[in-house]
Amino acid sequence: MSLLKLLNCHLILILALFIGAESANEHYSARWSRCFFSALDYSDMVYIDSFYFNKFLLIQFNSTLGKFVGFNEYGMNLAAQFNNSTFVNAEMASVNSECGFHIKIRYPQIHDKTVKPKVKLSVVKQEDGRNPAVFMCSAYEFYPKYIKISWLRNGEVMTSEDTALMEMADGDWYYQIHSELAYIPKYGENISCMVDHASLTEPIFVNWDSSLPTSERDKITIGVCVLVLGIIIAAAGFIYCQKKTGRKFVRCAATD
């Protein structure tokens, strides 16, 4: 089910160096070469070589077209020159020399090196105290980055509710993603988070415990805290009374 398993991906082979002058009027040029493929035997490989100036695309070579294409007047003039030169032959050769060589050697070394995500489902209260809070499904430390998070209500995928998604890199080749769901659950409803990833043979399901409404669980938690606090105060009073009088607790209580 994952994008990686379907090999619908692209690999960036070369990100050219930016060149510019160290001044207030500096300009930059860049060259970005990419390879796209989906077939297991790489037979549908496409090589795209793009040239930029100050972030604007000037000219691009596409191996499917077999020529350069300009995107403004200057770029069209360059394309006409390049298409009438040996540069076109060199670019077509890059389909095998760049894409074929790098991908066939490097891609098999990484496409099976997957790491399973660690998944956590939590509830975050809103600042105004309204019920319910926002549900948050978090997946941590997984690789590669392609991952899918879905919300389910009683086993059915939820599609109409408000959701928000935030994904980021950890900086160590691993990734994390957080999906938020704003929804008011009814008593007894089963809210679940489903995570699908290339490292998994089947999706991970994490259920939210809705056996009690949020307000009732809060009351129970407060009650337990009060009970524990009462026991601690009683124990402290007993110890204090024993140390002060040196008598048994029963006589101390009677005297007071």
pLDDT of residue 240: 65
Question: 10-residue block means of pLDDT along the chain (256 residues)?
Answer: 35 39 70 83 87 92 94 94 93 87 74 84 69 81 88 85 79 85 81 90 85 51 63 71 57 48
Q: What is the CATH number of domain 3-110?
A: 3.10.320.10
Largest CA distance in the chain: 111
d(CA 179, CA 167): 9
Can you give the pLDDT at residue 82?
95
pLDDT at 12: 39
Domain segments of the chain as ranges: 3-110, 118-207, 215-255
Quote the pTM value.
0.43
78's CB contacts (< 8 A; 6+ apart) are 51, 58, 59, 68, 70
118-207: CATH architecture: Sandwich (2.60)
Beta strands in 112-240 (DSSP E): 118-124, 134-142, 147-153, 156-157, 162-169, 175-182, 191-197, 204-207
